[in-house]
Amino acid sequence: MESWNRRAKLAVAVLVGFAAIVASAQTRKEMKFNVGPGASLTISNDFGPVTVHTMAGSQVLAVATLHSDQMEVDQTRSGSRVELFTHALQQRPTGDAARVEFDVTVPPDCNVTVHSSPGPIVIEKVRGDVTADGENANIDVRDVGNGHVHLRTLKGNVTIANVSNGHVEVTSVSGPVKMSDVSGPSVEVNTTNGKISYSGMFSNNGDYVLTTHSGDIEVLLPANASIDVSARSVNGKVENDFPFQPKQHNPFPVTSGRAFAGTSNSGSSGVQLRSFSGTIRVKKQ
C-alpha cells in the first residue's frame, strides 16, 4: 500500500514537472494601448486562433501566446490605430512551434479586423465594424451590431448570432454559413456550394439576399415574421410550408417546385433566396 502511494506521488510529480517544462517553452506577450473613441485594431495572425471580446474603457489589451522563440509579434501604433502582425523570425517552424494564439480585449466601439488563415476567429460584443477572413478559418461572430460585418472564407464554418442593426456581408466558397437572429438594413450572404441557414425574424425593415450556386438554403421563420419573400432555384427545387400570401406581381415566373413568392404579415423586410442548383427550404418555426 505504501509503495502504491509512493508511486502515485512520484507520477504526479513527474507530470507536474513535465507540464512546467512545456509551459516554459511558451512565451506570453502582453501589449497595452490607450486609444480614443472609434479606435481600430488589425490583427494578422496566420499561425493560430484569434479571440476578441470587449471591456468598457479606452484600452486595447492584447495577449499573444507564442509556442516557441522562433515566432515574433510586431506591433504598430499610430494614434488610435493599432496593428499586430505575427511572423517567423527565420524559416517558418513546423508543428506546434509555429503556433501563436491571440486573446484581445477592446473597447466596445472599436473597429476590429482579423486575418487568420487557419483560425478559428471569435469576435463578440463589438459595436464597431467587424472584418474577418481566413481561408480555412472557422469564424464565429456574436452579439455585435450597429456596424458593418464583413466575413470571408474559402471553406471555414461561419456562425453569426445575435446581430442587430448591422450591414452584414458574408462570402464563402464551400464553408457553411449559419445565422440566427441576424438583422439589419442589409444582410447579404453568397456561397458557391456552402449551405446557408437562417433562423430569425428578418427584422429591421431590411434587405436580405441569400445566394448560392449549388449549396442549399434553409430558412426557419417564426409566424410573426414580416417579410416579402421571393425564392427561386434555376435547376434545383424549392420547398415551402410557411403560409405566405401570394403576390400579384412577381419578378420572375412562379414555377411550382422551382420558385415561389409571397408576403407574411405586412412584408416589412425584403428577402431574396436564390440558388442555381441547390434546394431552398422555408419552414415555419
Partner 1 sequence: MTCAEFQRVLPYIIDAGGDAGQEQHLRECAVCADLVADLRYIADQAKLLVPMEDPSPRVWEGLQKSLEREGLVKSAPARRSLLGLPLRDLGWVAAGAAVVVLLAGIFFTRNTTSADQPKTTVAMESPATGPANAEDQQILDTVAQLSPDVRDSYRQGLRDVNTYIQDAERSVKEDPNDQGARQLLMQAYQQKAMLYQMATRSGE
Binding region for partner 1 (CB under 8 A): 46, 115, 117, 133, 135-136, 152, 154-155, 171, 173-174, 190-193, 211, 213-214, 232, 234, 251-252, 274, 276-277
Hey, which residues does 78 pair with through a beta bridge? 81
| C-beta closer to partner 1: residue 29 or 148 | 148
- Residue with Cβ nearer partner 1 (35 or 196): 196
Q: What secondary structure does DSSP assign to 152-217, as a single string?
A: EESS--EEEEEEES-EEEEEESSS-EEEEEE-SSEEEEEESS--EEEES---TT-EEEEEESSS-E
Cβ 181 to partner 1 shortest distance, Å: 24
- In the complex, what is the shortest distance from the CB of residue 109 to partner 1, in angstroms, rounded to a whole number? 26
In the numeric block, the cell 479606452 is attached to 58
Query: Minimum Å distance from CB 175 to partner 1?
Result: 10
CB closer to partner 1 out of 145 and 215: 215
What's the min distance (Å) between Cβ of 230 and partner 1?
A: 9
Residue showing cell 419578378: 251
Q: What does the alpha-carbon distance between residue 18 and residue 14 come to, in Å, rounded to a whole number?
A: 6
Q: What is the smallest separation between the CB atom of 139 and partner 1, expressed in angstroms?
A: 13
What angle is formed at CA 46 by the lines to CA 43 and CA 47, rounded to 5 degrees?
110
